[in-house]
Amino acid sequence: MDSPSRSRASWLLSLAMAISCAPASERPVPDTAGGRTARTPATLPGDAVRGLALLTAFRDSLPEHSGNTLRCTSCHLDNGTRGTAMPWLGSAARYPRYRSRPGYEETMERRINECIARSLAGRMLAERGRDMQDMVAYIESLRQRPRPTPVDSVKLVGKVVQGAGGYAQQCARCHGSNGEGNPALSAPAVWGPDSYSIGAGMARQFTLATFLRHNMPFDHADTLSDREAADIAAYVLSKPRQDHPGKERDWPNGDPPADVAYATTAARASGTSLPPKRPVLRRRVSPDSIR
């Protein structure tokens, strides 16, 4: 695992550690995210700099918490500032926030842990721990940035057969013909054991199609039609990916979105039509925190 990207990632982390002047034990970690004042990236506090290093080199920095080869910024592009890629601009001000997937009000820490457990197929971090609080500090630093207008969702049912052709033409050169990714091009896996789990937002048809429509191919963003994006998303999502234990407890109030990737207990009980079963792989890491 001595790839250039790995050593670059470790270098970035050591740089971030060097920049943060006080040792971790002397640096105060505020009790609540809301208690922090907003700072512009030019004057990032040490903990936000370290947080950004963790967000961009998650697996190299926190291997015990990573269940695939993705990093946070594989999806939250441009360090979470790209408006079409689930931006973190202004996110801090939106939490705590009620979300229908868990069915309760989530803190920012819990929201991040959801992405760790589902999108990174990993193990949740201790909410009061330094690693979590440093990542929160980075997202806090974007609190005052205006939230971009959300892009229109691509709400089309995708066709897998058409999507196979589109994937071969538009995606395979970077993500590989078996979806395995290509570290030399920094292109992560899009299905299989190194990809996000079935419980991730990106495993939903409309969420993936919308992301692709505006952000992929990486070097020619905004060139796919809605139809191409939907078909390619359907093809990618027809392939196996890691399971997410407990996913059937999602949307406990029986209000799953139309593009939900799996059957939930509440939907079953209310007689809602259930989505077709998707192939899943064994989970590599339990999502539950061990600390």
Q: Cβ of residue 104: shortest distance to ligand HEC, in angstroms?
A: 15
DSSP-based three-state secondary structure for 192: strand
Long-range CB contacts (within 8 A, 24+) of 81-84: 81/142, 81/145, 82/215, 83/148, 83/149, 83/151, 84/148, 84/151, 84/211, 84/214, 84/215, 84/221
Ramachandran sector of residue 254 (left: φ over 0; alpha: ψ -120 to 50; beta: rest): left
> Residue 271 CB, nearest distance to ligand HEC (Å)?
27
Identity of residue 206: F
Is the CB of 223 or the CB of 270 nearer to ligand HEC?
Answer: 223
- Per rule CB under 6 A, is residue 232 in the interface with ligand HEC? yes
Residue pair 136/108 in contact (Cβ under 8 Å)? The answer is yes
CA 87 distance to own-chain centroid: 11
Contact 163, 233 (CB under 8 A): yes
Choice between 137 and 174, CB closer to ligand HEC: 174
Q: How far is the CB of 3 from ligand HEC (least distance, A)?
A: 14
Q: Is 154 in the site for ligand HEC (CB under 6 A)?
A: no
Identify which of residues 103 and 217 has a Cβ nearer to ligand HEC in the complex: 217
> Per rule CB under 6 A, is residue 219 in the interface with ligand HEC?
yes
Q: Applying CB under 6 A, which of residues 236, 261, 266, 285 lies at the interface with ligand HEC? A: 236
Residues 179-218 that bind ligand HEC (CB under 6 A): 185-190, 195-196, 200-202, 207, 212, 216-218
* 173 belongs to the binding site for ligand HEC (CB under 6 A): yes
Backbone φ, ψ for residue 136 (5° rounding): -60, -40
Separation between Cα atoms, residue 110 and residue 113, nearest integer Å: 5
> b/e map of 61-82 (b: 16 or more CB within 10 Å)?
bbeebbbbbbbbbbbbbeebbb
170 binds ligand HEC (CB under 6 A): yes
Nearer to ligand HEC by Cβ, of 120 and 261: the residue is: 120
Beta bridge partners of 280: 241
| Interacting residue with ligand HEC among 49, 57, 120, 266 (CB under 6 A) | 120
Binding mask 74-93 for ligand HEC (x = CB under 6 A): xxxx--------x-x--x--
Return phi, psi of residue 231, to 5°.
-65, -45
Nearer to ligand HEC, 45 or 188 (CB): 188
DSSP secondary structure letter of residue 49? H
Looking at the Cβ atoms of 86 and 230, the one nearer to ligand HEC is 86
The least distance separating ligand HEC from the CB of residue 93, rounded to whole angstroms, comes to: 9
Query: Which spans of this chain sit near ligand HEC (rule: CB under 6 A)?
Result: 55, 58, 70, 72-77, 86, 88, 91, 94, 111-112, 115-116, 119-120, 135, 139, 170-171, 173-175, 185-190, 195-196, 200-202, 207, 212, 216-219, 232, 236
